[in-house]
Amino acid sequence: MNSIIEALHIQAKVSDSTHTFYKYPARFSPEFARAVIENFSSVGDLVVDPFCGGGTSVVEALRLGRRVIGSDLNLLATFVAKTKAVPLGEHARHQAAAVADHVYTARTTTFPKACREHYLKYVPSAASQWAAAAISAVKDYARSPKVARFVRLAVLRTAQLTLDARDTAPTGRQLDECFGEVLANQLSIAAQYHEELRAVWPQTPKLGKDLRVRNGRASDGRHFWSIAGKADLIITSPPYVGVHMIYHRWQIRGRRETPFPYLLAGEQDGQCESYYTMGSRSDTGVENYFTELGQSAIEFRRVLRAGGVLAVLVGFSDPTEMSRRFIQVIEAAGFTEFSNELASSDRLWRQVPGRKWFARSQANHNASKERLLLFR
């Protein structure tokens, strides 16, 4: 299992497969997900990620011939995960390219007033007008939901590249050029991904059968009733304890937060930060986090088969005390930790590069670390 530790410490920029389609916060590396899935499951097994985020583990499970269920509370996350994971055949890719052609020629339009008041906060007018025309073209010309999602994701990624963490506003021409590059890259990778899955699966994996992506809380057992005792591996990265993570906003023009990505994805937004992180950074918020974690762990135990493994990668604002409590909460649900069988304690911690987060104490540099925890 040395491959897991080696993959845990990889610092390279993500550049593989459909993982490049969107940069979702706090994602673990594809290499790490792959190593865990290879070591703790077999072809045809069921892998579950109840905090799937942008779908890294979902994609890697499919690439390794595993059935997979991903779930997340954030509708933006499940949109991204589903779009990255669902393979697009040649005909669907041609349809997506045809829809994209209409993006360049779409007539200037605007989003409805109700959308503008919430979703366009701090968004430059040129970007808003370009996005409105692009989304209008998707609605008018996409012939299937998966093609519509695919082109929407290209629009979303274009806006992310030109707006998120940027101080300058893009022009319409710059957005067109970026969109062309993004879509061409997506189409090329989608073709490779489709062929890769065909080589692993007897038939292309189907959404709703081999692949399921759901929206909901990890603690809500209704999402997992049908697989009680059937999961072979749970691999996940829950929100970090006591750490400010921006899952639900982009930051543009000097850290001004906007819910614009939800509008581009066609999903609803309306929740505060603590809703997506299981609790705020306050003492009360941390208590709420561990309460929610305990309820989730009970569901994990119910879903996982006897002998199955729960692999968790998580960060803490107070690594020593909070990691100890995290383990206690998981074990109270009937699990036993065996992380130290894999490696010494110091090798189970990972330094996280380039992460947009803020700990309860800015002086605590340990808050930029994650820990791998393994349970049976």
Q: Which CATH architecture has domain 2-86+206-242+279-375?
A: 3-Layer(aba) Sandwich (3.40)
Query: 228: pLDDT confidence band, cut at 50, 70 and 90?
Result: confident
pLDDT, mean of residues 288-299? 96
Could you tell me the CA-to-CA distances from 109 to 126, 130, 216, 266, 359 in Å, in that order? 11, 8, 34, 17, 41
Query: 353: pLDDT confidence band, cut at 50, 70 and 90?
Result: low
Tokens 């065996």, residue located: 338
Q: What is the pLDDT of residue 351?
A: 80
Measured over the CA atoms of residue 6, residue 2, residue 16 and residue 358, the dihedral's sign is: negative
Lowest mean pLDDT among 24-28, 77-81, 118-122, 211-215: 24-28
Q: Per-residue pLDDT for 43 more than 60?
A: yes
Q: Per-residue pLDDT for 112 more than 90?
A: no
DSSP labels, 257-318: EE-HHHHHHT------HHHHHTS-SSHHHHHHHHHHHHHHHHHHHHHEEEEEEEEEEEEBSS
Q: Per-residue pLDDT for 237 more than 90?
A: yes
Which residues, in sequence order, are CB contacts of 205 under 8 Å at separation 6+?
62, 67, 87, 197, 211
Q: What is the pLDDT of residue 273?
A: 81
Which residues, in sequence order, are CB contacts of 85 under 8 Å at separation 6+?
18, 55, 58, 59, 62, 68, 70, 211, 213
pLDDT, mean of residues 89-113? 91
Q: Which residues of 190-205 are buried (b: 16+ CB within 10 A; e: fewer)?
A: beebbeebeeebeeeb
Instruction: Give the whole-angstrom CA distance, residue 272 versus residue 100.
Output: 33
Q: pLDDT tens across 56-79, in order?
A: 999 999 999 999 999 999 999 999
Lowest mean pLDDT among 167-181, 217-231, 344-358: 344-358
What whole-number percentage of the chain has pLDDT above 90? 71
pLDDT, mean of residues 23-42? 93
pLDDT, mean of residues 105-112? 84
pLDDT, mean of residues 336-354? 84
Q: What is the pLDDT of residue 34?
A: 97
Instruction: Give the whole-angstrom CA distance, residue 29 versus residue 12.
Output: 9
Instruction: Give the whole-angstrom CA distance, residue 70 versus residue 51.
Output: 7
Q: Which two tokens stand for residue 319?
A: 């690594």
Q: pLDDT tens across 251-275, in order?
A: 998 789 999 999 999 998 867 888 8
Domain ranges (residues) in the chain: 2-86+206-242+279-375, 90-200
Helix (H, G, I), strand (E, B) or coil at 55: coil
Specify whether the CB–CB gap between 24 and 159 falls below 8 A: no
Q: Which two tokens stand for residue 237?
A: 């990265």
Please give the angle made by the CA atoms of 308, 313 and 315, to the nearest 5 degrees.
145
Q: Please give the distance of CA 346 from its chain centroid, rounded to a whole number.
A: 27
Query: 28: pLDDT confidence band, cut at 50, 70 and 90?
Result: confident
Q: What is the pLDDT of residue 373?
A: 96
Q: Which residues of 92-103 are buried (b: 16+ CB within 10 A; e: fewer)?
A: bbebbeebbebb
What whole-number percentage of the chain has pLDDT above 70? 96
Q: What is the pLDDT of residue 361?
A: 44
Which residues, in sequence order, are CB contacts of 165 under 8 Å at separation 6+?
250, 251, 252, 356
Q: Which two tokens stand for residue 312?
A: 């968790």
pLDDT, mean of residues 99-123? 87
pLDDT, mean of residues 159-164? 96
Q: What is the pLDDT of residue 347?
A: 85
Q: What is the pLDDT of residue 145?
A: 96
Neighbours of 336 (CB within 10 A): 9
Instruction: Give the whole-angstrom CA distance, residue 100 versus residue 46.
Output: 35
